[in-house]
Amino acid sequence: MAHKRLLIVLVATLIMLAIVQYIFAHSEVAVSFYGSYIFLPFQLLRNVSLGFIPVSIGDTIYIVLTILIISLIIKWIYYLIKLKLYRRPLLLSLYRTALAVAIGYILFFIGWGGNYSKPSIAKHWGLEMSQELEDDSALVKFDLYLIDKMNEYAPRYVEQKFKSVEKQSRDYYKQFSATKDKYSSLKIKPSLFGNLLEYSGIQGYFNPFTGEGQINKNLPDFLLPFTTCHEMAHQAGIAAEDDANFLAFVVCTNSNDPAFIYSAYFNVWLYANGKLRSRDSMLSKSLYKQINPITMEHIYTLRRRREEFKSPLSKYSGYFYDNFLKLNKQEKGMESYDDVVNTVYAWEQKRLRGSRSPESIP
């Protein structure tokens, strides 16, 4: 009887999840209600209750969960070896695991997943998106524009460590978003995994269960400001990776801090030059002669770091996250990160016409 009850509960849970997913896919009202009355209050509670703890609770949970999963797999293998004796316990364990995964997804959706249904920042701010960068010549011009910006700010770039960057990022979010009161408790923590994250090709991540943002504090200084602001964008309710990149860019460049401005233009240039390289590798390399020596050293540092932490794990983690994003309405998966080039292009065009700072975060 126990396994039948578990099966009924599991089926009912899956039906409920399907209904919620359908509603969010077809109702802007439901998405707006979720953002204002479910996610924001819940995230504020998590920020306040966990923000003062210096250690990442999310990392700790993932470590414990990994141990439990390994133990569960070992138990299943044992049950399969002695299947005649453990057929019923194996079935019950499978049902319980499936139910635990379903409940975990409910918690994920409440604490984060509903944000994937939000409109893009570009749409929310009324940016006029164009297809100009589909033309190679336009992409080259924009690449050169970003290089000019890097050349402008590189001489004024001053290295900053994680604690300073994290504090300043919080201050800049307060200053450059109309929703500063709600996000006064934003906080990014150093990940317990440190450089181990790099072997997975990860610089930082947002934990949907605890609401914490974590980054590898050992990242090169020129990456820290942009990466920190990216993870804070997730804490502020931005799910799409390209939008998190875009909001990080806007916050960084609206500051008067050369380190943040430089970090933003440098990171977006990496995406833009990557796009150009995929079309014409020789052309993308030819633009390097326009880059200042400081930025060239940063490029070499990044290349050496990527080579140092290169591992098969990054391939598998990338495959997993690519499919995770696609399951959560990010059709391009990992490629969606690159879309920040288009939104930044539209934003810079608007800024050149005298745009003011963004009014709100969707």
Tens of pLDDT along 1-36?
Answer: 556 776 677 777 778 777 877 787 778 888 888 888
pLDDT at 148 over 90: yes
- pLDDT-derived band at 153 (thresholds 50, 70, 90) equals very high
Side-chain half-sphere CA neighbours of 13 within 13 A: 18
Task: Give mean pLDDT, residues 309-314.
Answer: 64
Domain residue spans of the chain = 2-117, 121-352
Distance between CA atoms of residues 31 and 33, nearest Å? 5
Residues 206-222 as b/e (b if ≥16 CB within 10 A, e otherwise) read bbbbbbbbbbbbebebb
pLDDT in tens, 258-296: 999 999 999 999 988 888 888 888 888 888 889 999 999
pLDDT at 336 over 80: no
Task: Give mean pLDDT, residues 240-246.
Answer: 89
Task: Give mean pLDDT, residues 65-74.
Answer: 93
Say what percent of the chain tops pLDDT 90. Answer: 29
pLDDT at 332 over 60: no
Q: Which of 57-61, 307-311, 353-357 has the highest mean pLDDT?
A: 57-61
* Tokens encoding 251: 């916050």
**Among candidates 262, 223, 268, which has minimal Cα distance to 245?**
268
Q: Which residues pair with 206 in a beta bridge?
A: 213
Q: What is the pLDDT of residue 285?
A: 84
Q: What pTM value is reported for the model?
A: 0.88
Q: At what angle do helices 258-279 and 162-175 cross, to 10 degrees?
A: 90
Position with higher pLDDT, 190 vs 12: 190
Q: What is the pLDDT of residue 279?
A: 82
Say what percent of the chain tops pLDDT 70. Answer: 86
Q: What is the pLDDT of residue 335?
A: 52
Residue with tokens 């920020």: 47
pLDDT at 233 over 70: yes
- pLDDT-derived band at 56 (thresholds 50, 70, 90) equals very high
